[in-house]
Structure 1
Amino acid sequence: MLHLNRVATAATISLALFSGIAEAGETIRIKDITGREVEVNVPVERVILGEGRQIYFTGALDTDAPFKRVVGWRDDFQKADLDGYNIYLQKFPEMAKIPTFGGMKDGTFDIEQAVALKPDVIIMNTEAKSATEESGYIEKLAKVGIPLVYIDFREKPMQNTDESMRIIGKLFGKEARAEEFVKFHDDQLARVTDTLAKAGDIKKPVVFMERAGGYSDDCCMSFGDENFGKMVELAGGINLAKDIIPGTFGTVNPEQIIASNPDQVIVTGANWELYVPGGAWVGVGPGADKAKAEEKLAALMKRPAFTGIEAVSEGNIHAIWHQFYNSPYQFVAVQQIAKWLHPDLFADLDPEATFKELHERFLPVAYHTGYFASLKAGL
């Protein structure tokens, strides 16, 4: 358990545990997504985000002022989602002044800078856990009264998204708002899973999910039985790499793809101009140029791993926004994948409308199309 230099009475902690709802200024004991029990004074007013893309959930809870608690964040938002970053920057120019950090995993996190910002909590993704523990950051932060809380939208997002949103809701004093989001998330996911359950025994196409296709010359990164791999299964498909990749992320060699002859190929992409200028990646995302995305997607299908496979000859080639893999919006991706895999069964389902409703109800910026692209047969 992580102890702070703040004092909380046993009665206060017990009340928080039984009620699950924090009153202003009380210290509660929160169990983070890894099972650690952490004492935090809530609602938090000063937050360091261990990843810039955590603004995806901050914006869903602090919709009117998504940066009001953020006193520092990792420097990945602009690099990993340039189009999304620019949309937020246009509406919230003050975000450019927020101090940025390197990552825990790559050893560039500046703990002295973090302490100087006097955060009430640091929110980290679970993938940083090993590096955080090895460096002794948790103990160092505890000595100056700064708690660290883990959440997860990436390693096991379909399992941990709802609970992660509830944890953040407690930290922010936005429990009701978090529950509203969770209900919307679950209801929209059920539109796919309930329909598939009622359909009974249907043919499930084999799907190859390529992670960040064209980001590098390597072929081909993919997903095991989690993240986009799990989304494929929920959408009524068979994830080609499920039994090849033992963890969440890994690689499938070209020969395995050709031998498996997938029915559908889905490539994740985003605007990675700051990471790989002029790269072969497919720039889908908010406001993306659809024609350019389709052109780059077609070029990727000329690589040896995809020559002669069923998906290419039938034109079942798609691109999807990479950041669904690391945000609480992944139910939109499940809807879109389901529509690609079973167009007749999901003829009335409109993932674009779902994502637009999510923006209108929960997010501080307007919806922009461009998150998906597909090729037609023969291209």
Structure 2
Amino acid sequence: MKRNLLFTAFIALALLSCTVQAKDTVVTDVAGRQVHIDTPVKRMILGEGRQIYLLSVLQPDAPFKGVVGWREDLSQADPENYEAYAARFPDIENIPTFGGFKDGTFDVEQAAALKPDVVFMNIEAQTATEDAGYEGKLAALGIPIVYVDFRENPIKDTTPSIRLMGQLLGKNDEAERFIEFSDEQMARVTDVIEKANPKRPRVFIDRAGGYSDDCCMSFGPHNFGEYVDIAGGQNIADGIIPNTFGTLNPEQIIASNPEQVVVTGGDWEAYVPGGAWVGVGPGADMTKARQKLEALTHRTAMTGIEAVKQDQVHAIWHQFYNSPYYFVAIQQLAKWFHPDLFQDLDPDATLAELHERFLPLSYQPGYWVSLEAADE
């Protein structure tokens, strides 16, 4: 009799445990949508492979745990980090890949077959997702979409996105520790700029300079445009480009006469083989990157501008525009714009600490390069 009572109690505890493990949770995503989802999430599809930048923070020992499918962009947009992750976590080669929501190549049937608990989508894909009816089709299959944002308005949306994904994965503590680190590192810039109120240099952000022959893609009031403002600069595209992304023509750049030029770069061999882009990133060849950066100063848009005359032309890792590591870019921008104010700030050390404390990969320098004499 006693054995039967113990067995019954064990079964009851087991059932209670299962109930606790799968809890219906209502969350509000960055699109303002209320979503019902069973938490903690065990199986997920990443609408963009670069969402792994955050997953690696939340679950560094097994960043790909629970990822049953993802968009194939990390290997093409950031091959150095993809190779580093693949070397340590070779199973990523077996994760099914998807096309994009925005270009209509996402396969709903393939997604359903993988039985995900959630699809994490970037906010910029929302319109295309709704227009194609993906939300309704996935909802009919019991698969919720949750929108996050690290690109359209990262200063506003990154922290809520970190908290959201942390909550859904049962990684609240990990999320909060990273947010605390991010806030501390941001304050090392914002506190100084607020107190000193320095004269702001005119800054041109050359988005993916050299990626194509067209000139020049840039940023409006958000993303790198806002990074410039926070770092104590004046974005020359402010008031010209109304949204996050847009284009300046050479005449507008020359007329604005920027005192600082910052090119965003990366290894885009998969997209533009042998292109004029500046290949900065982990482990990048700095000599080659500097040569390609210098070559970009000979474009028409750079004619006679102050930044070129004074060698205040720099390149920085493009993926800072699309990851929760953006605060490192803001530190480096601040150091370029106001070297006297930030003599003691070491963005390299910040990025190294980020890797040591939060990421499963060893830090490799190479995320930025400059034409100024101090870098020679």
TM-score range, shorter chain: over 0.9
1:257 aligned residue (247, 253, 258): 253
Cα distance in 2 between the residues matched to 1:242 and 1:86: 37
Per-residue CA deviations over 1:286-317 (Å, capped at 9, x if unaligned) read: 11000100000000110010021100000000
Cα distance in 2 between the residues matched to 1:275 and 1:213: 14
Structure 2 SS opposite 1:108: coil
Q: Does 1:161 align with 2:158?
A: yes
- 1:220-369, aligned counterparts within 5 Å? 220-369=216-365
Match of 1:98 in 2: 95
Per-residue CA deviations over 1:314-361 (Å, capped at 9, x if unaligned) read: 000000000000000000000000000000100000001101111111
Structure 2 SS opposite 1:167: helix
CA displacement at 1:23 relative to structure 2: 5.7
Cα distance in 2 between the residues matched to 1:145 and 1:106: 23
Structure 1 SS opposite 2:21: coil
Q: Aligned partner of 2:30: which letter?
A: I
Q: Percent identity?
A: 62
CA displacement at 1:203 relative to structure 2: 0.8
Structure 2 SS opposite 1:236: coil
CA displacement at 1:83 relative to structure 2: 1.0
Cα distance in 2 between the residues matched to 1:240 and 1:299: 22
CA displacement at 1:24 relative to structure 2: 2.7
Match of 2:70 in 1: 73
Q: Aligned partner of 1:80: which letter?
A: A
Unmatched runs of 5 consecutive residues or more in structure 2 = 1-18
Q: Does 1:131 align with 2:128?
A: yes
Runs of 4+ in 1 over 4 A off after TM superposition: none
1:203 aligned residue (165, 183, 199): 199
Q: Is residue 23–residue 42 contact of structure 1 (8 Å, CA) maintained in 2?
A: no
Q: Is residue 220–residue 253 contact of structure 1 (8 Å, CA) maintained in 2?
A: yes
Q: Does 1:33 align with 2:30?
A: yes
- 1:142-221, aligned counterparts within 5 Å? 142-200=139-197, 202-221=198-217
Matched residue count: 357
Cα distance in 2 between the residues matched to 1:245 and 1:282: 24
Q: Give the TM-score, by structure 1 length.
A: 0.93
Q: Does 1:118 align with 2:115?
A: yes
Alignment RMSD, CA only?
1.3
Q: Aligned partner of 1:156: which letter?
A: N
Cα distance in 2 between the residues matched to 1:144 and 1:106: 22
- 1:10-49, aligned counterparts within 5 Å? 24-49=21-46
Q: Is residue 270–residue 283 contact of structure 1 (8 Å, CA) maintained in 2?
A: yes
Cα distance in 2 between the residues matched to 1:192 and 1:91: 34
Q: Aligned partner of 2:212: which letter?
A: S
Q: Give the TM-score, by structure 2 length.
A: 0.93
